[in-house]
């Protein structure tokens, strides 16, 4: 973007800020939305590093006529973290914990501090930060205070406003003011605020602060004399409309010494809601509710058919003809000792099982942490489940977190279900029932004008409904663009005028977050999935079964809750390394959404900006499993690259890496060529020349080729007489076939030791992975179809197909049916695929003793285990872990996911530095710090390559470990003895 010239000569500060602004369309498109349905393309983004940055940015924005929007983790569902002017992102750099005072039980922090970051730091002192929204692993505390976030423990510890001590705020003139519990440090500001308060005493007392989750609008009731003129709390929930938070002091609370969990089952969700109203009492810290429809949605997911079986009320045959529960309450109890916590839980269960009015039909009390987590996971799955309906249909926020006084919740829920039915809509309410707060995402059709009309009609009717119960449009997260237009449904003109006056005092020029709360934008204005989003939708190569054949539907899975921005888990490795929104799964999804619309990115599938956003996607597939809605960015990247390079010359790496299976097969078809090539590449100038010609990252070591292929070795070796019921096909993937045959040979030895006849297919077979990851999808389909032709006799025989390379096993087990959906042989091959570890695990003796059927002893060593990212995301490592335990391996799994090489990605120019930094997160240090004699385990060829480059170790495949554990081979071994010769 070309910024407009300044109207006056630039100051040094303006020049400094201007040079640091991100104005490229890639970044602007990534910031176009938050976790809401709204779309606002920013003019520029500044990643804030200091308070001085903020002052210079505000001055610059004023000079340029830009608005200023503050943004933390961007996890708000209300559209209050987006804007068309300058967006100030505090999450990447402005995120230091400045001080923790364990005596005063406070923390002084910068606004970009992540909620969990603060909680972890406070835990050292036996303290925690009370508010804990579901996005606690990535939302910022500054954003939480700005939106008055809460979470499941607000029953005990209140909202973010209840937990703020003071706030330092920068105003539109660049001055700062500190707001506290008895006013501000600015005399004139105090005078103006008191004047506003005193002129509106009656409406502030009667309309605001009626129940804890009433967070819509501004919290002006905190200015009342009886509330101490608490300006810090009044500023909480202003959603960035009154100034920029530069520093906060927040309360910390003592963590309970002990907790227990009681889950109460009720006949209906309305009964659960009615009971929740009585839960605000000492010793109870949560009262979270869910209904049977949510459990039904969870059970509609593949592999989740029995989910929730641990819940009470599922056995059937209860009193009064009740067959099973239709609603549940999760109540955490806290005590000074485990006995006390459980006693409170037991008493609560007895009380509600014997209640006269709203009785529970069943209850369960658990204190064991594992059992507690199992039950909570069922409830927490709701955040992802409700964004997709059981039939795969889309469900959207906006009427996301309304709240009513808890005593009215049951009646409000009945009306909400009726209102959805009246408008032909579906949704699954759940939430903080003890506080009267309901979360729901609804099946709005936002892509058509007719759908938008229904959306507006529902939103207006819902606002009228919540007003009848004296409720709040928002129970947390703020009103934003989602509900600000509807504030006149719940507040009088006098209160709305007071809101305007409050903003005017803080922001007289109206520079901060316009369109939110004051002079609000329309609730149906410029929706991201609204009309026009599908302008450039094209038929994808993948059939995208889960998304009804639509790549737009696939991208729309991303609702923006930002799990990909968390430091936990394996998603998203590039974001975890860079901290750049563009490199998050969400950022890429937003860029793709802009591509489909074609306004900011008119080149659509030929857009360089989209290619840039996807460049650092490792195609690790972590998002396909760890994202709450299973966004599959690896597949979307393949589809984009397929279109982008259509009728274009590709990077040379796509030819050398993408066509590696063919190139290596040709090499092995020429006697002696592999050894000659290896010898030639040991000559440094020749290696550098080959890498340059092949488009390979120059700092990478060249891979070596096996002297002969695994298939050739198998042909020379011959095979034993076959036993049809004990015959298996060992899949000769290109890596174990042509590059490192050690695992393949070891697998044959292990399988034969287990009594199997091993068949290795002859001829060219390949899963198509390297073509798929480089977006050469037409070639991938041709390769798969050829493979199916070669494999047809073996599939007809019904033999299991054993996979050694996790990426290829996953490709064959999951991807090929999406690429060649109408070929029954693809479905047959996918069904026949069995990971090597899974097959071996079936033979592990129950008593742990060696036998003829289990010809392995125990090695009794530790091991660092790099589980392949595809196995982690779309497979199951548990069988391999079971096998390793059976042979005495004490396995320590690397938790950070992808090793950082990611197949061809790590060999492409420009990726080496990031690739190595990903290895340094955990993998390399763990290997360097392992005990003497410990193994390094890695079933993936890429993982072993990354390990050998980044450390002095050599990775072993599970098959090689088992060879080392053979009963006739139990002398001390080193991993190198089991590598390919």
Cβ 836 vs Cβ 804: under 8 Å: yes
CA distances from 335 to 105, 352, 365 (A): 20, 20, 15
CA–CA dist 966, 579 (Å, integer): 46
Note the pLDDT tens digit of each residue in 460-477: 999 999 999 999 999 998
pLDDT of residue 292: 87
Instruction: Please report the DSSP string for 828-844 in residue order.
Output: HHHHHEEEHHHHHHTTS
Q: Which tokens is 898 given?
A: 């992808």
pLDDT band for position 307 (50/70/90)?
Answer: confident
Cα 881 to chain centroid distance, Å, stands at 25
Please give the average per-residue pLDDT across 823-852, as a whole number: 91
Alpha carbon distance 397, 395 (integer Å):
7
**Helix (H, G, I), strand (E, B), or coil: what is residue 260?**
strand
Q: Tokens in use for 306? A: 């029995």
pLDDT at residue 890 is higher than 70:
yes
User: Does the pLDDT at position 796 exceed 80?
Assistant: yes
Distance CA 137, CA 568 (A): 7
Report the SS3 class of residue 479: coil
Predicted pLDDT of residue 722: 65
The two three-digit tokens of residue 738, written as one number? 């042509």
Binned at pLDDT 50, 70 and 90, residue 358 comes out as: confident
Spatial distance between the Cα atoms of 458 and 472, rounded to a whole number of angstroms: 16
Q: What is the pLDDT of residue 973?
A: 40
pLDDT above 60 (res 970): no
Percent of the chain with pLDDT over 70: 95
Q: What distance separates the 2 farthest-apart alpha carbons in the chain?
A: 97
Phi–psi pair at 460, nearest 5 degrees: -65, -40
Among 926, 939, 936, residue whose Cα is nearest residue 896: 926
pLDDT surpassing 90 at residue 871: yes
Please, where are the H alpha helices in 215-255?
A: 231-235
Distance CA 146, CA 168 (A): 12
758 backbone dihedrals φ, ψ, rounded to 5°: -105, 125
The count of other CB atoms within 10 Å of the CB of residue 412 is 24
Q: Of 331, 346, 131, give the one whose Cα is nearest residue 236.
A: 131
Pairing mode of beta strands 164-170, 68-71 = unpaired
Q: Is the pLDDT of residue 971 over 60?
A: no
- C-alpha radius of gyration, the chain, whole number: 30
Tell me what the mean pLDDT of segment 658-684 comes to.
Answer: 94
Place of tokens 């498109």: 29
Collapsed DSSP state (helix, strand, coil) of residue 867: coil
Helix (H, G, I), strand (E, B) or coil at 22: strand
- Average pLDDT of the residues in 937-956: 96
- 3-class SS string, 343-367: HHHHHHHHHHHCCCCCCCCEEEEEC
- pLDDT band at 4, cuts 50/70/90? very low
The H or E element containing residue 716 is helix 710-717
Six-digit token string for 621: 């597939």
Contacts 24+ apart (CB under 8 A), 542-546: 542/635, 542/638, 542/639, 542/777, 542/818, 542/819, 543/818, 543/819, 543/821, 544/635, 544/818, 545/818, 545/821, 546/392, 546/630
The position carrying tokens 């033999």 is 799
Residue 891 contacts residue 863 (beta carbons within 8 Å): yes
Token couple for 274: 């009615």
Confidence (pLDDT) at 320: 75
3-state secondary structure 547-603: HCCCHHHHHCCCCCCCHHHCCCCCCCHHHHHHCCHHHCHHHHHHHHHHHHHCCCCCC
Instruction: Compute CA 721 distance to the chain's CA centroid, rounded to the nearest angstrom.
Output: 50
Q: Average the pLDDT over 869-883 and give the result.
A: 95
**Residue 792 pLDDT > 90:** yes
By the 10 Å C-beta count (0-12 exposed, 13-18 middle, 19+ buried), 601 is classed as buried
Closest CA to 174 of 45, 20, 84, 57: 57
Q: From CA 238, how far away is CA 146, in angstroms rounded?
A: 6
Q: Check residue 974 and give its pLDDT.
A: 39
610 pLDDT above the threshold of 50: yes
Is residue 574 predicted with pLDDT exceeding 80?
yes
- Classify residue 723 by burial, with Cβ atoms within 10 Å: 0-12, 13-18, 19+: exposed
The label of the residue with tokens 């006799």 reads 793
The alpha helices in 324-437, defined as continuous H runs, are 338-353, 369-380, 382-385, 409-422
Cβ neighbors of 117 (< 8 A, separation 6 or more) are: 95, 97
Contact 621, 634 (CB under 8 A): yes
Confidence band, pLDDT 50/70/90 cuts, at residue 390: low
Q: pLDDT grade, residue 399 (50/70/90)?
A: very high
The enclosing H or E element of 46 equals strand 44-47
Q: Which helix (H) or strand (E) holds 403?
A: strand 401-403
What's the whole-number average pLDDT of the chain?
93
Q: End-to-end CA distance of the chain: give it in Å, rounded.
A: 56
- Write the DSSP assignment of 151-193 as a string of letters: BTTHHHH--TGGGEEEEEEE-TTS-EEEEETTEES-HHHHHHH
User: Which residues in 734-888 belong to E strands, given as ranges?
Assistant: 757-759, 801-803, 833-835, 861-865
Segment 168-180 mean pLDDT: 97
Q: How far apart are CA 936 and CA 919, in angstroms?
A: 14
Q: Please check the confidence at residue 759 and state whether its pLDDT lies above 90.
A: yes
Using CA atoms, how far residue 168 sits from 19, 111, 820, in Å, is 27, 10, 59
Burial 182-202 (b: 16+ CB within 10 A, else e): ebbebeebbebbeebbeebee
Give the pLDDT band (50/70/90) at residue 321.
Answer: confident
Is residue 555 a contact partner of residue 590, using CB atoms and an 8 Å limit?
A: no
- pLDDT above 60 (res 757): yes
Is the pLDDT reported for residue 193 higher than 60? yes
Mean pLDDT of 907-922: 95
| DSSP label at residue 521 | P
Cα 345 from chain centre: 33
At 758, the pLDDT band (50, 70, 90 cuts) reads very high
The pLDDT value given to residue 847: 75
Residue 688 backbone phi and psi in degrees, to 5: -65, -35
Query: Could you give phi then psi for residue 385, rounded to 5 degrees?
Result: -60, -45
Q: What confidence score (pLDDT) does residue 293 get? A: 86
Report the distance separating Cα 377 and Cα 288, nearest Å.
Answer: 13
Residue for token pair 């700092």: 699
Angle at 177 between CA 176 and CA 182, to 5 degrees: 170
The pLDDT confidence band at residue 317, using thresholds 50, 70 and 90, is confident
Identify which of 221, 196, 198 has the alpha carbon closest to the alpha carbon of residue 210: 221
Q: pLDDT value at position 717?
A: 87
Per-residue pLDDT, averaged over 813-832, amounts to: 96
Average pLDDT on 354-373 reads: 91
What's the confidence (pLDDT) of residue 978?
34
- The DSSP-derived string for 773-799 is HTT-HHHHHHHHHHHHHHHHHHHHTT-
Cα separation, 526 vs 530, whole angstroms: 7
Average pLDDT over every residue of 470-498? 97
């Amino acid at each position: 973007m070309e910024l407009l010239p300044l109207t006056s000569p630039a100051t040094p500060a303006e020049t400094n800020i201007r040079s640091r602004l991100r104005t490229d369309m890639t970044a602007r498109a990534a910031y176009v939305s938050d976790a809401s349905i709204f779309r606002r393309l920013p003019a520029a983004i500044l990643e804030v590093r200091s308070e001085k940055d903020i002052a210079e940015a505000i001055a610059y924005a004023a000079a340029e006529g830009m608005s200023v929007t503050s943004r933390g983790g961007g996890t708000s569902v209300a559209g209050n973290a987006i804007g068309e002017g300058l967006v100030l992102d505090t999450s990447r750099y402005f995120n230091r914990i400045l001080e923790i005072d364990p005596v005063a039980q406070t923390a002084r922090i910068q606004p970009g501090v992540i909620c969990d970051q603060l909680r972890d730091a406070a835990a050292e002192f036996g303290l925690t930060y009370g508010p804990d929204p579901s996005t606690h692993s990535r939302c910022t505390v500054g954003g939480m205070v700005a939106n008055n976030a809460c979470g499941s423990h607000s029953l005990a510890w209140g909202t973010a406003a209840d937990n703020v001590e003071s706030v330092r705020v920068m105003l539109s003139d660049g001055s700062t003011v500190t707001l506290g519990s008895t006013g501000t440090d600015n005399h004139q500001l105090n005078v103006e605020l008191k004047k506003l308060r005193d002129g509106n005493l009656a409406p502030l007392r009667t309309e605001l602060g009626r129940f804890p989750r009433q967070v819509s609008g501004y919290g002006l009731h905190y200015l009342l004399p009886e509330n101490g003129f608490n300006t810090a709390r009044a500023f909480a929930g202003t959603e960035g409309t009154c100034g920029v938070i530069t520093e906060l002091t927040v309360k910390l609370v003592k963590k309970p010494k002990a907790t227990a969990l009681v889950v109460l089952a009720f006949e209906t969700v309305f009964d659960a809601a009615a009971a929740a109203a009585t839960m605000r009492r000492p010793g109870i810290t949560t009262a979270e509710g869910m209904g049977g429809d949510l459990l039904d949605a969870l059970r509609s997911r593949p592999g989740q058919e029995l989910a929730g079986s641990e819940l009470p009320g599922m056995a059937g045959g209860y009193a009064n003809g009740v067959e099973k529960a239709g609603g549940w309450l999760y109540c955490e109890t806290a005590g000074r000792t485990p006995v006390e916590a459980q006693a409170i839980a037991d008493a609560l269960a007895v009380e509600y099982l014997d209640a006269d009015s709203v009785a529970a039909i069943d209850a369960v009390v658990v204190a064991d942490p594992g059992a507690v987590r199992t039950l909570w996971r069922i409830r927490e799955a709701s955040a992802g489940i409700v964004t997709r309906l059981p039939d795969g249909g889309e469900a959207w926020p906006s009427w996301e977190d309304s709240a009513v006084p808890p005593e009215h919740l049951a009646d409000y829920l009945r009306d909400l279900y009726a209102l959805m039915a009246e408008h032909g809509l579906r949704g699954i309410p759940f939430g903080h029932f003890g506080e009267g707060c309901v979360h729901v995402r609804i099946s709005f059709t936002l892509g058509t004008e007719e759908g938008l009309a229904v959306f507006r009609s529902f939103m207006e009717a819902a606002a009228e409904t919540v007003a009848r119960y004296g409720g709040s449009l928002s129970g947390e997260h703020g009103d934003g663009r989602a509900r600000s237009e509807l504030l006149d449904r719940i507040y009088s003109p006098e209160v709305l005028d007071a809101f305007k006056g409050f903003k005017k005092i803080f922001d007289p020029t109206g520079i901060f977050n316009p369109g939110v709360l004051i002079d609000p934008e329309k609730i149906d204005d410029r929706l991201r999935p609204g009309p026009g989003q599908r302008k450039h939708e094209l038929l994808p190569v993948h059939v995208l079964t889960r998304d009804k054949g639509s790549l737009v539907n696939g991208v729309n899975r991303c609702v923006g809750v930002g799990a990909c921005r968390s430091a936990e888990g394996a998603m998203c490795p590039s974001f975890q390394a860079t901290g750049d929104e563009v490199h998050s799964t969400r950022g890429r999804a937003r860029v793709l959404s802009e591509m489909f619309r074609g306004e900011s990115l008119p080149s659509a599938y030929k857009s360089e900006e989209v290619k840039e956003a996807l460049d650092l996607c490792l195609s690790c597939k972590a998002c396909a499993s760890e994202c709450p809605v299973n966004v599959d960015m690896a597949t979307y990247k393949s589809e984009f690259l397929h279109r982008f390079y259509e009728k274009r010359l590709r990077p040379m790496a796509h030819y050398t890496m993408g066509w590696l299976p063919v190139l290596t097969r040709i090499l092995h078809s020429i006697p002696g060529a592999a050894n000659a090539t290896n010898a030639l590449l040991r000559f440094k100038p020749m290696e550098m020349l080959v890498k340059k010609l092949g488009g390979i990252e120059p700092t990478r070591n060249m891979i070596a080729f096996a002297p002969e292929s695994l298939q050739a070795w198998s042909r020379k070796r011959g095979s034993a007489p076959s036993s049809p019921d004990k015959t298996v096909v060992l899949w000769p993937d290109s890596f174990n076939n042509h590059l490192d045959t050690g695992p393949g040979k070891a697998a044959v030895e292990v399988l034969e030791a287990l009594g199997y006849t091993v068949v290795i297919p002859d001829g060219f077979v390949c899963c198509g992975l390297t073509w798929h990851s480089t977006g050469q999808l037409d070639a991938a389909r041709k390769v798969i179809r050829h493979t199916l032709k070669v494999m047809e006799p073996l599939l007809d025989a019904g033999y299991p197909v054993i996979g050694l390379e996790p990426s290829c096993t996953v490709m064959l087990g999951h991807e090929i049916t999406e690429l060649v959906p109408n070929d029954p042989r693809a479905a047959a091959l996918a069904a026949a695929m069995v990971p090597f570890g899974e097959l071996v695990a079936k033979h592990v003796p129950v008593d742990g003793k060696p036998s003829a059927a289990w010809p392995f002893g125990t090695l009794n060593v530790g091991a660092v285990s790099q589980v392949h990212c595809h196995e982690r995301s779309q497979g199951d490592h548990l069988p391999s872990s079971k096998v390793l335990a059976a042979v005495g391996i004490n396995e320590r799994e690397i938790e950070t996911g992808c090793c950082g090489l990611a197949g061809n990605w790590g060999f492409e120019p420009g990726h080496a530095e990031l690739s190595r930094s990903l290895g340094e997160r955990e993998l390399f240090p763990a290997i360097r710090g392992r005990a003497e004699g410990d193994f390094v385990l890695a079933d993936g060829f890429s993982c072993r390559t990354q390990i050998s480059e980044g450390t002095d170790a050599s990775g072993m495949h599970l098959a090689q470990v088992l060879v080392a554990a053979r009963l006739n081979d139990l002398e001390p071994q080193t991993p190198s003895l089991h590598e390919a010769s």
